[in-house]
Structure 1
Amino acid sequence: MKRIFITSVFIVTVITSFVYKVIAQEEKFFDAIGEITYGEECLQSWQVEEASAVADKLLLTAPENPYVCFFAGEVRFYEGNYEESLSFLKEALKEPDIVQEGQKFYDFVEKIYQTTGKFKEVKTEHFLFRYVEEKDAILVDYALDTLEKAYDAIGNDLNYFPAKPVLVEVFPDAESFCTISTLTKDEIETSGTVAICLFNRVIITSPRLLPRGYQWLDTLTHEYVHYVIMKKTYNRVPIWLHEGIAKFEERRWLEGVTPTLPVSLESLMAEAIEKDYFITFGQMHPSLAKLKKKEDTALAFAEVFTVIDYLFNQGGYPLLVSILDGIKNGKSTEDAVSSAIEIPFVDFEKNWLQDLKQKKFRRIHGIQILPTKLKESSTIVDDMESVAEIEVKDAKKYAILGDLLRHEGLHNAAIIEYEKAFRKAGHISPQIQNKLAMSYIMDTQYAKAEEILKVALEYYPEYTTTYISLGELYQRKGEYAAALEILSQANRINPFNPIIHKNLALLYDKLGRKEDAAGELRRLMLLSK
């Protein structure tokens, strides 16, 4: 999720008043004002290396100038050097004219440092990955493998490879993520924002904070795409184009995957076309996270994906690169798009909408956008929690009865109650689908279980329990390779679930892959600490 670049730009205004105080002072202060103004522009355009060079130069010529110190503090923050940032900012606050607004930025950085000061750091050729070791060590190998694949794939697609290692930070709790993202908890839960590209870095929440995890490796790639676009275009791309490309590219770290809309977003598009209700490009600004309803945020993502899909079909990645290069070189977004596709921008919008309305999007009545709740949670979601997620009252009642019967080993009786719940919920509830499927599995009705789980997986690919249930089914059928594949997909969403690692270890062992089995056992030990 990309947001407008928020920095303490007040310094430019403060400097203006400061000019009158330094007229009688050394000429180098006049130079500092111009340099700082240029440096701030570099920060705004995500050219942090240039801003850093400005800061280093100023610190050599005017190390005690409070405005130079404040600017140096900003730069060090964007570089991820929190201690040095706070040191410079503290020095700058000795200047009375800086204190009123400068204290806010200092407090902001200090609050973030309360978390980031505990981070462990792993550096590769292209990434600097930070995390809280005692909580999130299990993420490291998965994240770096995905990021390196994304570096190659996105770089080739968009013709840009960052020259320096990209900072990636995993925030371990809701409070710290709210602070660094500058979003409120309500905005996060309404929009489903669990990651952001901001302050010259990729920031994600640990998948540990959602009961079943989330598609965090896709999300990492999504935010990395934002980073690439920011750097490539000097932060000049509007939100609709930013989010469209990021959504289109977020699974490019996986080989052989064609960008497609998830069924839930496809259904939203079908409904939007039917009702002629769309989120305009203007409404998307400054951030999709600011939209008031999670359905509007989801619809906006669906729309911008289809925009990029439409452009891609006109000319592939060369056309997308041409648009980004045009924006980088100073064209407006409208002119860059028009030049690339050789028609006026207003005609492009009309053609996209016309193409959209001709597509056969499926409308799935009852499908939902699953809620986002950031909280510390147990590693396994129990029956009580999954029942609480069922929205249809009558369906919930039958599901509770089914749970009671299943726990007594009365699987036939449980199936009857779950089937009632299933019908009441309109055949679309991943919670009920999994409960019913597991009862089918325990009753050896494997075909029925597989059918219902595949539908659940298609509708809710982010719902980890479905993968685990399918893995159980395939193991019981002796289809170990299929079980391994489906559980590996579950692991991409929630690596904190010990059941996944336990079953993967068993499967690797059955398939004679002793080293992989040992790796899963090591991960199990990490989770037990």
Structure 2
Amino acid sequence: MKRKAVILLLLLFVVLLSREKEAKSRTNEFFDIPGEIAYGEECLNAWQVEEAKKVAEKVRLLAPEDPHVCFFVGKVRFYEGRYEESLDFLKKAQKTPGVMQQAEEFFHFVQTIYQTASNFKEIESEHFLFRFVEEKDAILAEYALDTLESAYKVIGGDLGYFPREKILVEVYPDAESFCTISTLTQKEIETSGAVAICLFNRLIITSPRLQPRGYEWLDTLAHEYVHYVIMKKTYNRVPVWLHEGLAKYEENRWIDDNSPTLPVSLESLLAEAVEKNYFITFEQMHPSLAKLEKREDTALAFAQVFTSIEYLYHLGGYPLITAILDEIKNGMDAKEALSSATGVPFNTFEENYLQYLKQKNLRRVHGIKILPTILKESSTIVDDLESVAEIEVKEAKKFAILGDLLRREGLYSAAIIEYEKAFIRAKNISPQIQNKLAMAYIQDTQYSKAEEVLKTALEYYPEYTATYISLGELYQRTGAYQTAINFLSRANRVNPFNPVVYRNLIQLYTKVEDKENAANEMRRLKMVTRFHNPTTPEMPEK
């Protein structure tokens, strides 16, 4: 009797299992897993990762071992920044000929990135997850999240979009890892100056450690955040010229009461382009400004797209700009959307824009140049020898070396004469020589001349950190302590790794009896010297 009961139970179990398999098979057929995955891929391409994630969870429940499902889920996990889970799913995907090669290639891509990402520390603010290698780049978190939250508020208001999900931001600590995740070559990076990118549902930047004097990394973070907003708002349908124009136009809006202004170096390039009737077409800018062959062409393209947005703003402000983005989001072609919003055909818009450029009376500054981008880890301080090496004209370099020797001997008036000779012979306007000359003026107590030289250097090369440090030195010596603090604080927007900045700020806050900020700068000084060479010169870099 018992034996019969056991047999009946076994038969019932087999029947139920068979029916369950049949039901699941019918559900899979009805559900159309390949179709769902195709839709999920479209969501990833449109930067709608939350929707792609829902698809991934659906298909994973129905067919957890299907290689195509595992490959798709692995991609979604990567877009979410969940590297270990991504690798686990991608491993499972490498079983079927139809998906094997793609899965293997993507697995090795993610695995290479994870060699760096596995060392990331993550901190978060209300809207951002900020990842960095702590032993190298901890100081960046001191400034980045405040900037990003400000950008979230201001840029969201400008463009009419506030992401609901937390935005992932990753700082890559070396050129090799940045090249991998950005999919750019080092040559493309150094030619174009592309030190950051918005890709794979995140903001990606290189550490400012990788350039001797850093770069305007906080503005760059905001620039890439603009790209993120546009991707999300428009389902990734905006052409490169409009994308880059908005990002360039908005990149320093995070600073209080800041109106977009074209840097002098770009204005000068654009003035020359107007004179010569040489422009980079919108078509040439596709698929990326980083793909242009010359650094000057990339810079000119940025100048053009900035002023194209400036022109749109002139026509109708942010309501016009957001109307264009909304039309693109709803499926309209970008040219048609612009024509619809402006009331003129796209060709007419281009003609009117060029006329607008010609009427701007753009200033051409002879001798100004685009500073090079070289990604390599180096000292956080640039000394006299290194700054002289950056001077391109041999005769100018000779006089600068002589000026350095005289200044170190305390012969400031004689050093000034040599630096002035160097400046004349340099042909290009050299921020290296300008700072050397200004420091000699400061040490010779010719403060008004030093201020004039440094203000010019700052106007022409706002990305040159030494100028902020020299201005801090000037105003500290003249007793304008708060002005000195302001300039030194601005230096950290370019290079937050220079111990001289923190030491000078500690002195200044001590002079104005601000113990709290003096203690903050002391804490930051310890952060940047803990993992870097603590030996620094007494005088600011030149």
TM-score > 0.5, shorter chain as reference: yes
Pair 1:319 & 2:333 matched: no
1:402 corresponding residue in structure 2: 403
CA positional deviation for 1:26: 6.2
Please give the per-residue CA displacement for 1:443-490, whole angstroms capped at 9, x wherever unaligned.
111111111111011000000001101110111111101101111111
Please give the per-residue CA displacement for 1:158-190, whole angstroms capped at 9, x wherever unaligned.
110001100000000110000000000000000
Whole-Å separation in 2 of the counterparts to 1:348 and 1:222 = 25
Pair 1:271 & 2:268 matched: no
Amino acid at match of 2:500: I
Whole-Å separation in 2 of the counterparts to 1:47 and 1:213 = 34
Whole-Å separation in 2 of the counterparts to 1:511 and 1:475 = 11
- Secondary structure in 1 aligned to 2:365? coil
Whole-Å separation in 2 of the counterparts to 1:104 and 1:393 = 49
1:433 corresponding residue in structure 2: 434
1:42 corresponding residue in structure 2: 43
Structure showing greater Rg: 2
1:260 corresponding residue in structure 2: 261
Whole-Å separation in 2 of the counterparts to 1:161 and 1:100 = 38
Amino acid at match of 1:356: L
Whole-Å separation in 2 of the counterparts to 1:168 and 1:305 = 24
2:79 corresponding residue in structure 1: 78
2:200 corresponding residue in structure 1: 199
Amino acid at match of 1:234: Y
Please give the per-residue CA displacement for 1:34-59, whole angstroms capped at 9, x wherever unaligned.
00000000000000000000000111
CA positional deviation for 1:61: 0.5
Whole-Å separation in 1 of the counterparts to 2:366 and 2:321 = 34
CA positional deviation for 1:387: 0.9
1:115 corresponding residue in structure 2: 116
Whole-Å separation in 1 of the counterparts to 2:383 and 2:141 = 27
CA positional deviation for 1:512: 2.0
Please give the per-residue CA displacement for 1:242-296, whole angstroms capped at 9, x wherever unaligned.
0000000001100111101000000000000000000000000000000000000
CA positional deviation for 1:196: 0.3
Whole-Å separation in 2 of the counterparts to 1:427 and 1:117 = 44
CA positional deviation for 1:427: 6.8
1:161 corresponding residue in structure 2: 162
1:392 corresponding residue in structure 2: 393
Whole-Å separation in 1 of the counterparts to 2:125 and 2:447 = 45
CA positional deviation for 1:409: 2.0
2:537 corresponding residue in structure 1: none
Amino acid at match of 2:28: K
Whole-Å separation in 1 of the counterparts to 2:344 and 2:513 = 59
Amino acid at match of 2:262: L
Indicate if the aligned counterparts of 2:369 and 2:428 stay in contact, CA closer than 8 A: no
Please give the per-residue CA displacement for 1:108-149, whole angstroms capped at 9, x wherever unaligned.
000000000000001222001100011111111200000000
2:289 corresponding residue in structure 1: 288
Indicate if the aligned counterparts of 2:47 and 2:201 stay in contact, CA closer than 8 A: yes
Indicate if the aligned counterparts of 2:366 and 2:428 stay in contact, CA closer than 8 A: no
Whole-Å separation in 2 of the counterparts to 1:356 and 1:115 = 45
2:329 corresponding residue in structure 1: 328
Query: Deviating runs (4+, > 6 A) in structure 1?
Result: none
Whole-Å separation in 1 of the counterparts to 2:257 and 2:79 = 35
The more displaced of 286-295 and 415-424 is 415-424
**Mapping of 1:68-217 within 5 angstroms?**
68-217=69-218
1:249 corresponding residue in structure 2: 250
**Mapping of 1:10-49 within 5 angstroms?**
28=28, 31-49=32-50
CA positional deviation for 1:97: 2.8
The more displaced of 221-230 and 399-408 is 399-408
Structure 2 runs not aligned, ≥5 long: 1-24, 531-542
1:18 corresponding residue in structure 2: none
Name the TM-score, length of structure 1 as normaliser. Answer: 0.94
Whole-Å separation in 1 of the counterparts to 2:98 and 2:318 = 49
CA positional deviation for 1:343: 1.1
Structure 1 runs not aligned, ≥5 long: 1-24
1:6 corresponding residue in structure 2: none
Whole-Å separation in 2 of the counterparts to 1:484 and 1:499 = 13
**Mapping of 1:377-388 within 5 angstroms?**
377-388=378-389
Pair 1:229 & 2:209 matched: no
Q: What do you get for the CA RMSD once the two structures are aligned?
A: 1.0
Whole-Å separation in 2 of the counterparts to 1:341 and 1:249 = 21
Quick one: percent identity of the two aligned structures? 70
Whole-Å separation in 1 of the counterparts to 2:507 and 2:415 = 29
Whole-Å separation in 1 of the counterparts to 2:57 and 2:389 = 56
Amino acid at match of 1:219: T
2:61 corresponding residue in structure 1: 60
CA positional deviation for 1:27: 6.4
- Secondary structure in 2 aligned to 1:281? coil
Name the TM-score, length of structure 2 as normaliser. Answer: 0.92
Indicate if the aligned counterparts of 2:52 and 2:76 stay in contact, CA closer than 8 A: yes
Whole-Å separation in 2 of the counterparts to 1:208 and 1:501 = 16
1:522 corresponding residue in structure 2: 523
Which gives a bigger RCO, structure 1 or 2 (Cα 8 Å, sep 6+)?
A: 1
